[in-house]
Amino acid sequence: MVSGEGNLIRSGLCSVLRQIICIAHNCYPSESYNDLLGFRGGSLKACAEVSSWTKLCELEFPEAMMTAIQEIRSLRAKADLDKTEKHGITYTLPKEAILLESHMHQPPRIHNDDKMKRYLIQCLINNWSNEEDISKLENNVCAKLCQGYNPLVGEMIQSHAIIRFRLEGLNENTDNQSELQQNRNKPFDDDLLLAQLAEKMKKMKLDDVVLDHLYVEGIEMTIADLILFIFVYHFLESVDLQLGLLITHLPKLGAWFQHMSNMPRMQVAASEYGCNLDDLCLTLENDNHSSLLINNFALSEIAEDDNKESELQRRTRSKYRALKPELAKVLKLIKTADIQPKGGEHPCGTNIELPWSTLPAAVHPQEGGLPAKRALKKCQQLENIVTAVKEIVTKGQIIVDFCSGGGHLGITLASLIPYCQVYLIENKEESLHIAKSRVDKLGLKNITLYQCNLGYFHGKFDLGTCLHACGVATDMVLQKCINSEAAFVVCPCCYGAVQNTHLITYPRSQLFQAANISDMDLLTLGHAADQTEFKIALAEQGRYCMNLVDTDRLAYTEEKGYDVILCSLQPLTCTPKNNLLIGTPKYIKNGLS
């Protein structure tokens, strides 16, 4: 999606859809389309590398459904040729579908859920107090109440929530146990006055109310529902739109899809898209053509595997914490393998100052909203990177500022190296808006902004750079540069956030792998490396571990054919995370000295 004057490009399923929703809301504010962005606009906002939920919705579930569709079509074609097959096809559901089902069995995470429960209870009491009997309930409220005197069990399905509750029976004084047992599952008589039940509900406690998933992210529809709905529909198409099959094997997912299909505006949108929801409803009573079997081992594996993120999160945080004995073990392995951190000097030595006074005011970091003290340190950080980049690039080349944030680095590069094109890659909408306003104010024509995850950028470039890319993002930047045979100037950050992903695994280098250093060992070093704050007792040890993690990165890029320098930002006090990796492919004539 290209917007603005062609200098702002959005890419990636979630980023593009979020932007479409923002545009629709601005055009039709009364429709409140921005509610689809979820609480505080956070639905699918984090990129797939840091959010297991975004990864499932944007990558894993769509890919799994498309693969399943192809496999089912293949099985059915084979079954049509083999006339001896009498019982239809058998297919094992993908683990991503089972993971989503497991997620929907968990209580939804709702901001201030106590307030929501109080509101829902009061709504029920108000509605029921105005009705004469249970048969006159509104159409959007389905009451399933049992005559179990002790306790009373109820379920209310409203347009925005499922409420399950328990109440002590209306006839607590009944002593006839056989009568209680016989009536436990007997429906209430139609002439039961709801006022009597409403009186009981007034005594209901918040703990008696359980909110359930009506939508995949809780009790409000979000963009995630729209994405997943399409792929589930196409999956059902491959089995003759038999929703009954889905409800049988994945009841929560099936109930969610049925609810979504019954929403009037979804039916209109589905019709425009070409979805045949009318036939889908008919197949609920006619699901006898083919069979799907779930692999029970796969179900238990997902539910019990502690290393698997069975609880999907908007932002994945490592639960691992390094302990002293574990760190001592890793450092012993390092010593045994005789691995030494490799230190070097900046290509410009100490001559790294930039002419800030001659640059337009909007280039200065203070224009990006930083206070004066932080702006000074940011200037010092930028000087180290910009001067290193200027030593490498030549006229007409493309520089990519990955994880560009508010554009401090990219804007400075574009201003001081006008003979190069500069691309800013950033996933956060707010940061990109700040960067774009600064670019427009400066009138820079050699900048293009991309709102996307850095993994979605596939353009050719000559040098990649980043300032304090968090954790695994640093290694993704390095890998992008290697794949593009581009030079790099990288300042890492958040060493404790390194973790294996679907794109990156640790350790990176053969040097560290040969020393029998595992991914958990490197994570231990990463946690110790984050203890580099000045004036703390563990700062020296933290810096040593930080250098070791970056030595792994240095060795990896050297193994890929690069000349690499690991040096420090000057002055060291400009940031605790002050390592700088500078690399050029060896085929470049001058290389790095």
Our separate counts of H helices and E strands in the chain read 21, 13
CA distance 378 to 372: 10
Mean pLDDT over each residue of the chain, to the nearest integer: 82
Between 48 and 592, whose confidence is greater?
A: 48
Q: How far apart are CA 436 and CA 516, in angstroms?
A: 46
Tell me what pLDDT residue 503 has.
86
Task: Give the rounded distance of the alpha carbon of 472 from its chain centre.
Answer: 14
Most confident of 122-126, 456-460, 484-488: 484-488
Report phi then psi at 440, rounded to 5.
-65, -40
Q: CA 91 from chain center: how many Å?
A: 29
Which range, 77-86, 186-195, 445-454, is most confident? 445-454
3-state secondary structure of 297: helix
Please give the residue that has the higher pLDDT: either 124 or 198. 124
pLDDT at residue 129 in the model: 58
pLDDT tens track for 325-336: 899 999 999 999
pLDDT at 472: 93
Question: What pLDDT shows up at residue 200?
Answer: 64
Q: Inform me whether the pLDDT recorded for 481 exceeds 50.
A: yes
Sign of the alpha-carbon torsion through 172, 175, 177, 181: negative
Q: What is the pLDDT of residues 42-96, one digit of tens each?
A: 999 988 878 889 999 999 999 999 999 999 888 888 877 665 554 556 788 889 9
Average pLDDT for 98-124: 83
Q: Which residues of 87-100 are buried (b: 16+ CB within 10 A; e: fewer)?
A: eebebebbbbbbbb
CA distance 549 to 526: 7
In 429-538, alpha helices (H): 429-442, 472-483, 510-514, 519-529
Q: In the prediction, which pLDDT does 512 show? A: 97
pLDDT digits (tens, 9 = 90+) for 226-285: 999 999 999 999 888 888 888 888 999 999 999 999 899 999 998 898 888 888 755 544
On the question of pLDDT at 286 being above 50, the answer is no
Confidence at 316, pLDDT banded by 50, 70, 90? low
Total-model pTM: 0.80
Q: Does the pLDDT value for residue 303 go beyond 50?
A: no
Q: Are 167 and 208 in contact (CB under 8 A)?
A: yes
